[in-house]
Amino acid sequence: MLEHIVFYSLSTLVLVCAIGVVTMRNTVHSALCLGLCLAGLAGLFASLGADFLFAAQVMVYVSGIAVLIIFTVMLLGRASDLHLRQVNDQWMAALLICAVSSEGLLKIARFFSGTLATTAAKPATRDIGRLFLGEWMIPFELVSLVLMAALLGAIFFSRSEASR
Amino acid sequence: MTSSSPKPASVKASLPEPVLNDKNGILMTNRRWPIEQWARPWSLPGYRNGAMMLAGIVLGILAGGALIGELSKWGDRLYALMGSFAAAKGISTVAVEAVWIAIKVLIVLHVILLNGLWSIWWERKISAHIQSRVGPTYAGGFHGWAQTILDGVKLFLKEDITPAAADQWVHALAPAIVIAPCIAAFAPVLFGSELAAARLDVGALYIFAFAGISVIGVVMAGWASGNKYSLLGGLRAAAQIVSYELPRGFSVVPVIMFAGSLDLSVIVSAQSGFWWGMAPRWFVFYPVVGQVAFLIFLIASIAETNRTPFDIPEAESELVGGFHTEYSGMKWSVFFLAEYAYVLLGSFLLATFFLGGGGSPLPWTPFTLVPSWVWMLAKAMLMMFVFLWVRWTLPRLRVDQLMDVNWKFLLPWSFANIALAGLYLAFWLK
């Protein structure tokens, strides 16, 4: 009962905010909606008992990525960002891509929906650490390599032509 | 303001008589204060004054700690009472838990509110004495103790102004977004060795995560005010706080590695025990790694609270008031409540991570008998004093200096510190 209330209210929050991100006319309002949407997602993780994922989601997405997006929107803001429709004529293609990818996600969710744990959730930080640096070491290091490459690429492209 | 008659018997012969207005006894000059004594602080009356202040601080911490300990016992009793009441009336345990969590949230909220009253008064006194002033003196009678309460009343009575250029909703919501994660971040904070509102396995990560959300509120305040100075303050705050979060988090990684857990009570219990029977095994005393981590965490915590060496988001001489320029009354005071709450959070975290939490600093009897919440409060207050002391001692950094300190000094050294901690774990600690 309680978990149903929590799940449905958080899902409503996430969905309403996600729609707000694309339909709001003011880009700053959209960015704030994105932050709230990511926070609601963290709440969903918490309600499922994934404590490490919850804290990491809040730390990385809400207080990191959302803040950087808001920062960028404010720093690069034009007057037209505050009152015009923020949708161009490719919205149908975007909608199609979203529909296809949500269909795929739905299939994955259906496939794994029987494997949900039935016992009470327990702290998972230690197990996540052991898996990352044990069984899944190579994929984990590959992902960090990709992130490192992205970091170096960002620095390379953000430097001016003269200093390259 | 008290209009007491002059007390000839109790006034020391060395001090001049206070000059009072005949009509209603209001003090006319400041000659009651022992100016001669401040000119010679290393004199006998100076020592006596200092000893009395020290005794007052110890007594205050004992009283505050005893209050926390007693309240926690009452809380246990209340919880048992609620459980038996629900069992007798057939109420589900979920309802009992919900009410109990609400009570704990209220208690944590009051920690923040009382801390606002106390630390603002203390900051005024410390800043005054650092600058050879005396600070609040009249309000309430004893060293101006009621100053913050009266300020709160003043802020309640002020008009709440929303500028015409402001984005109304965002402007009104910003203080709430600043204070709400701050209250949430206090949930796993330890007030004694086992005394916390919630015991979380990811406690340290949880606190850092929630303390980081507040910056969204600051940026919202800066943008929604419709004022270019506020916007600049908000942008500076975003850049500064997001940057300083990194060394703040990474400086604690050695502590987490030594303790082997993110749970604050496990981190505290990993610091119990003594080297050679007398030196406490606190993480700050681990050679090199402990001190470097402590300093980086302290500097980054001060930067996170936007206080003076790092106060470019609200630099008065450059940006009027930064992101809170357009706020007045209670909305403005909520920003400051959050700032002082983060100071308290930083001091409790420093005490927990590096100073052994509620553990006694010496292994002998009179010290080990003191309960853990008194030690915890004493260490946190010591760290809070450091916060206030730094604010009123150091000048403001420039924007580029601030970023250089973070990215070119604190962050690389915190990485090196993690590597060194790994070497310690491999060769020294088992």
Spatial distance between the Cα atoms of B337 and B332, rounded to a whole number of angstroms = 9
Confidence of residue B33 (pLDDT cuts 50, 70, 90): low
Predicted local distance difference test score (pLDDT) of residue B348: 92
Predicted local distance difference test score (pLDDT) of residue A2: 75
CB contact under 8 A, A67 and B210: no
CB contact under 8 A, A125 and B201: yes
In a domain, A85, yes or no: no
* One-letter amino acid for residue B182 of the chain: C
Q: Please tell me the number of Cα atoms within 13 Å of B409 on its side-chain side.
A: 13
Question: Which tokens hold the place of B390?
Answer: 């730094």
Predicted local distance difference test score (pLDDT) of residue B11: 46
B355 vs A29, A113, B286, B373, B415, CA distance in Å?
43, 46, 11, 13, 22
- Give me the number of domains chain A comprises: 2
Residues A63 and A126 in one domain: no
Confidence of residue B297 (pLDDT cuts 50, 70, 90): very high
Q: What does the pLDDT average to over B362-377?
A: 81
Q: What does the pLDDT average to over B282-304?
A: 89
Q: Tell me, yes or no, if A41 comes closer than 8 A to chain B by beta carbon.
A: no
**Planar angle of CA B284, B290, B296, nearest 5 degrees:** 105
Predicted local distance difference test score (pLDDT) of residue B2: 47
Q: What does the pLDDT average to over B32-55?
A: 71
Q: What does the pLDDT average to over A44-55?
A: 85
Contacts of A63 in chain B (CB under 8 A): 209, 211-213, 215-216, 242, 245
Q: Which of A52, A70, A71 lies nearest to residue B202, judging by beta carbons? A: A52
CB contact under 8 A, B205 and A52: yes
CB contact under 8 A, A74 and B231: yes
Of B302, B23, B223, the residue nearest A27 (C-alpha): B223
Least-confidence region, from A95-99, B29-33, B325-329, B335-339: B29-33
| Mutation site, A6, A71, A128, interface B, largest B CB count within 10 A | A71
Residues A2 and A73 in one domain: yes
Residues A3 and A74 in one domain: yes
Q: Is the pLDDT of residue B27 over 70?
A: no
Question: Which chain A residue is nearest to residue B234, measuring alpha carbons?
Answer: A71
Confidence of residue A117 (pLDDT cuts 50, 70, 90): low
Mean pLDDT over each residue of chain A, to the nearest integer: 84
Q: Is the pLDDT of residue A115 over 70?
A: no
Confidence of residue B402 (pLDDT cuts 50, 70, 90): confident
Contacts of A39 in chain B (CB under 8 A): 213
Mean pLDDT over each residue of chain B, to the nearest integer: 82
Predicted local distance difference test score (pLDDT) of residue A158: 78
Of B173, B169, B164, B155, the residue nearest B332 (C-alpha): B155
Contacts of A155 in chain B (CB under 8 A): none
DSSP secondary structure string, A43-67? Answer: HHHHHTT-HHHHHHHIIIIIIIIHH
Per-residue pLDDT tens digits for B78-95? 888 888 888 888 777 778
- Percent of chain A clearing pLDDT 90 (strictly above): 21
- Percent of chain B clearing pLDDT 70 (strictly above): 90
Given CA atoms B412, B413, B414, B419 in this order, what sign does their dihedral have?
positive
CB contact under 8 A, A74 and B235: yes
Name every residue whose Cβ is closer than 8 Å to that of residue A66 and which is 6 or more positions away in sequence. Answer: A31, A34, A35, A38, B216
CB contact under 8 A, B216 and A67: yes
Q: What does the pLDDT average to over B129-153?
A: 81
Q: Which of A28, A63, A67 lies nearest to residue B209, judging by beta carbons? A: A63
Question: Which chain B residue is nearest to residue A53, measuring alpha carbons?
Answer: B202
Contacts of B209 in chain A (CB under 8 A): 55-56, 58-59, 62-63
In a domain, A38, yes or no: yes
Q: What does the pLDDT average to over B140-160?
A: 84
Least-confidence region, from A40-44, B20-24, B313-317, B424-428: B20-24
Domain end marker among A25, A47, A79: A79
Q: Is the pLDDT of residue B311 over 50?
A: yes
In a domain, A88, yes or no: no
Per-residue pLDDT tens digits for B257-278? 888 888 888 888 888 888 887 8
Per-residue pLDDT tens digits for B88-130? 887 777 788 888 888 888 888 888 888 888 888 888 888 888 8
SS3 B127: helix
Spatial distance between the Cα atoms of B110 and B288, rounded to a whole number of angstroms = 38
Residues A72 and A131 in one domain: no
Q: What is the pTM of this model?
A: 0.84
Q: What does the pLDDT average to over B322-331?
A: 83
Domain that holds residue A41: 1-79
> Kind and range of the H or E element at B274?
strand B274-275
Per-residue pLDDT tens digits for B4-19? 445 555 545 555 565 5
Q: How many residues does chain A have?
A: 164
Predicted local distance difference test score (pLDDT) of residue B343: 92
User: Is the pLDDT higher at A114 or at B220?
Assistant: B220
Residues A130 and A67 in one domain: no
Q: Is the pLDDT of residue A23 over 80?
A: yes
Q: Tell me, yes or no, if A34 comes closer than 8 A to chain B by beta carbon.
A: no
In terms of Cβ atoms closer than 10 Å to its own Cβ (0-12, 13-18, 19+), residue B185 is buried
Q: Is the pLDDT of residue B1 over 50?
A: no
